[in-house]
Structure formats: structure tokens, C-alpha cells
Amino acid sequence: MSTTVLPTYDDAVARYEPVIGLETHVELGTNTKMFCGCPTEFGAEPNTQTCPVCLGLPGALPVANRAGIEATIRIGLALNCDIAEWCRMARKNYFYPDMPKNFQTSQYDEPLCVDGYVDVDVDGETFRIEIERVHLEEDTGKSLHVGGATGRIHGATESLVDYNRAGIPLVEIVTKPVTGLGARAPEVARAYVTELRDIIRSLDVSDVRMEQGSLRCDVNTSLNKPGEEWGTRTEAKNVNSLRSVERAVRSEIIRQSGILDAGGSILQETRHFQEDTGDTRPGRSKETATDYRYFPEPDLVPIAPDPAWVAELKAALPEKPSVKRARLREEWGISEVDMQSVANAGAVELIEETIAAGASPAGARKWWMGELARRANETGVELAAVGASPAQVAQLQALVDEGKINDKLARQVLEGVVAGEGDPAQVMSARGLEVVSDTGALQAAVDEAIAANPDVAAKIRDGKVAAAGALVGAVMKTTRGQADAKTVRELILARLS
Ligand code: ADP
Ligand code: MG
Ligand code: ZN
């Protein structure tokens, strides 16, 4: 490939129209695997959660997990899809060491759910993302390459494989190509995955944690000149956070535009998103469907969900996240923009639970959207994984409301909570962070401040009460922020009146 000069993002979207498509995999939270009774718990010793079926031993026969089918149908319904009355699983044949059967049980031309949509809001504008299909498949195992510096296969001395994950149900949600987004494409892609995550989370069928891989997203991007046919797409994998979804689309737009500007053509390929640089690197060139030699799975009976059952599932769907957001926005008394940032931060449920644990809406929002959001950003984890629970945040705010700590001390308490030092009250006493309002204990510090600042003291004696602030500040300094400011002020004025 010739070296190309990269255009700016604005130049790229001025010359080309992006088309995007998102393929999202969701690992279902069923108790057992999709086609056998093995447990699905995360983090067990390698290869302890396997059996002849999920190891693909000869003669072993799969049986479909009803809970997996039900969850897939509920996802389809929540995404406004039509549910197939009859469909089959298919074998997708390929060889990969972490796939013991040498085929993946998946769906091909007969997906369980088709033709849905999701509406997403970006800055007050609504974009409808059409869903092509929602299908059920199984996860692969995991390879581990050891002995090298990078953990990649290159330079490794041994490769290990763990089949615990093999056979865990996965749902793949594929959008139709999304056009007409222009410069908004990266933001809309992110908003779509966010909305999808919230919808699926509301169904309680998966913990949809991108950082743990239970929600994974492949991002397809192509560019075309206005009025011309769609261009060749690339597929970015390894996109492990909502922020990365946005960055992956953006960097592909810039990269592809550079190639097209120089008269080159785009290779249809899988690329790997690089978290550190924010761009993508080439991976394998993309297989086509014929390479997989799909055929209907002969060992499983067709899936024919009773329409009455599907209707029941539909009637029992939970409140839509978008409807819920509108309701909570009213209850919390905040603006649409503020609610949007709460949603984008993944904080809706966290704030809701914090309020349920006793905090005021303002108090709950303040910690999650302030201190904790900042930490989550810095450490690159989702807010829910930052290390404080809703109950702890409610306890923290209660300590502030009771006057036991002020905001400054509360931030230190929160630091201890996040570091795993215990609940707020525990951290407060262990670190000795309680506000001191005991007049006896504060009197000495007050007298010291008066002695050290005779000019200020003189002013106050002359009736310039406003000057007391400087002395309060001095006392706060010597008590490392732990003095109760109101009490200090009273003591100062009492001494100098
Ligand atoms: P594959 O498994 O080969 O990636 P899929 O059909 O599962 O194929 O997914 C392809 C994704 O790419 C879909 O989301 C589709 O909407 C999207 N797509 C198709 N054509 C284009 C294009 N020209 N530009 C961007 N995205 C596209
Ligand atoms: Mg695909
Ligand atoms: Zn098994």
C-alpha cells in the first residue's frame, strides 16, 4: 500500500458519505450452556466446565436450552423484530483450535428474529437503526498464548486452550447498512450500541459488560462519493468499549478517505481496533459465506416457538429504556441534555438504585456523574465497575447530609471505598476523616489562627465580620479540612466580639 496523507475528519466527511453496519454479540446469562448442561460461571479453572457435547466428542448429541431460545426471542421482540414461526440451527464450518467441534452451531438463512429497529437519540435528533436479524449461536473457547512478551501467538512458546466458554449461548444482532448519517456516523454508532446495551440489560438476559466481553461489537464502515454506490466495507474487531465504537468508525473514515483520495481501493478485510492509538490495523482477509459451507444442523430439531408463547413474552416485556428515561427525567427534575449524559455514562440504573437506597436525586447524580465518572474515565472502566455500589454512594451522601463529613472529606472517603477499604462509615473512621465540630477540640486551632493573623483579627474586632472567612480558612488548613466550618466561624466571632 502506498503511504497516504491522512485528511482531517472534517475533510473526509465533506468528500465522502459513510455507511456503517454493526454486528453485536451478546453472551446470554443462562445457568447452563446452549446445547448441554455444563455450567457457564465465569472464572472457573480451565476446562472444568466441559462435557462430551461441548467438546464435540463423536456420538455426543446436543439438546437446545429453552432459556437461551426464550432470551433470544425476548431480545428480538424488544428490538421490534418479527419472530420466525419455524427455523433451524445451522453448522458454520471452520477450523479454529478454540472451537472443539470444528463447526459452530449457529443460524444462517433462517434466523430466529428478523426486521426490527432501534431508535436512538443524539443531541435531540432521532435516528432509526434497522435490524436485519437477531440469531442464536454458541460461543467458542479461549486460546491463551504464553511465554511471549505480548500474549499474542507471535513469540509465544506455548498455546493453551480453555473450553469452558465453548457452547455458551451467544446472540448476534446485525444491523442493516445505516446511511445518511454524514459526520454523525461515529456518534450514532456509539449511541446505538449504548441503547442496545440498555435494552438488553433491561431484559435481564445478559450482564452486557463490554469490558468483560459479554457484549462485543464488530464495526463495519465504508465510504462512497455522494450519489455513487456504497464502497467496500471493512470490519473492525476488538472494539471493547462504547468509546471505542465511536473511535473505530471515526478512524476508519479518515483512513479509508486517505486511500480513496490517493486513488487507491479499499480491501474488504477484518481489522483490529487498537485501544492505545485509536486506529485499526489489518487482520485476516474476510471469508465469504461459501467458505463456511453452511448447512442445517442435523442433530437438533427445528425451533418452532408457539405464537401464543411469543405473544405472552411480548406482553411481559419491561418498560423500554427510552420510556423509562423520560419518566425518570421527570422524577429527578433534570433537563433532557443532563439525562442524555446520564444515559451515555451508563448511570441511569446506578442513580436509580442509589435513590432507592435513600439518596436524593441530586445527591445520587452528583457522585455518579462527578467523582465516580471521572474515575471511570481515568481508569477506562465502565461506571458500574468503578468499585462503589449504589448503596455505598447513598451511605456516603447520608454522611454528608448528617454533617459527619463535608464534600472534601467525602471525596477522600469515596477514594477509600473505591480502593476496597469498606463501606463509607468504615472508611471514615478507619481513616479518621470525620468532621470535627467539638468546640473544645477546635478552640485551640481557632486561638492559634487568631494569634497568627493579628491584622485580620483587628478587622473583625472593628466589626468587619466578612473578614472571618480568612480565619476560617486558616483553621481548615491546620485541621486538614476536617473542621466544621460553621462551628469554627461561631468560635471566631465569639472570641473577637
Ligand atoms: P459478516 O458476517 O460477513 O460480517 P454480516 O451480514 O453478519 O456479514 O454483517 C455485515 C454487516 O456489515 C451488517 O451490519 C451490514 O449492515 C454491514 N454492511 C454491509 N454492507 C456494508 C457497507 N457497504 N458499508 C458498511 N456496512 C455494510
Ligand atoms: Mg457477521
Ligand atoms: Zn458441555
CA distance 204 to 170: 15
pLDDT higher than 80, residue 46: yes
pLDDT in tens, 132-152: 999 999 999 999 998 888 888
Q: Which ligand is nearest to the CA of 270?
A: 1
pLDDT higher than 60, residue 278: yes
- Position 220 scores a pLDDT of 98
Measured at the alpha carbon of residue 304, what is the angle toward residues 302 and 307, in degrees to the nearest 5? 175
Q: Which ligand is nearest to the CA of 235?
A: 1
Which of 129, 174, 235, 292, when mutated, tests ligand 1's pocket best, judged by the most ligand atoms within 8 Å of its CB?
174
pLDDT higher than 90, residue 153: no
Find out whether 90 and 303 touch, Cβ atoms under 8 Å: no
pLDDT in tens, 426-471: 999 999 888 887 888 888 889 999 999 999 999 998 888 888 899 9
pLDDT in tens, 392-432: 999 999 999 998 998 889 999 999 999 999 999 999 999 98
User: How large is the greatest C-alpha to C-alpha distance in the chain, in angstroms?
Assistant: 98
Which ligand 1 atom lies nearest to the CA of residue 286? 3
Ligand 1 pocket residue status of 266, Cβ below 6 Å: no
- Position 128 scores a pLDDT of 98
The residue type found at 322 is S
pLDDT higher than 60, residue 1: no
Ligand 1 pocket residue status of 215, Cβ below 6 Å: no
Give the chain's mean pLDDT.
93
CA distance 481 to 199: 44
Per the model's pLDDT, the better-predicted residue between 40 and 149 turns out to be 40
- Position 3 scores a pLDDT of 60
CA distance 153 to 141: 16
- Position 193 scores a pLDDT of 96
pLDDT higher than 70, residue 287: no
CA distance 66 to 70: 6
Report residue 180's pLDDT band, with 50, 70 and 90 as the boundaries: very high
Ligand 1 pocket residue status of 22, Cβ below 6 Å: yes
Which ligand 1 atom lies nearest to the CA of residue 175? 14
Q: How many other CB atoms sit within 10 Å of the CB of residue 358?
A: 15
Q: Where is average pLDDT lowest: 188-202, 290-304, 313-327, 331-345?
A: 331-345
Q: What domains are defined for the chain?
A: 9-309 (no CATH), 320-431 (no CATH), 439-496 (1.10.10)
pLDDT higher than 80, residue 184: yes
pLDDT in tens, 57-90: 999 999 999 999 999 999 999 999 999 999 999 9
CA–centroid distance, 229 to ligand 1, in Å, is: 15
CA–centroid distance, 23 to ligand 2, in Å, is: 6
Ligand 1 pocket residue status of 175, Cβ below 6 Å: yes
Length of the chain: 497
Report residue 387's pLDDT band, with 50, 70 and 90 as the boundaries: very high
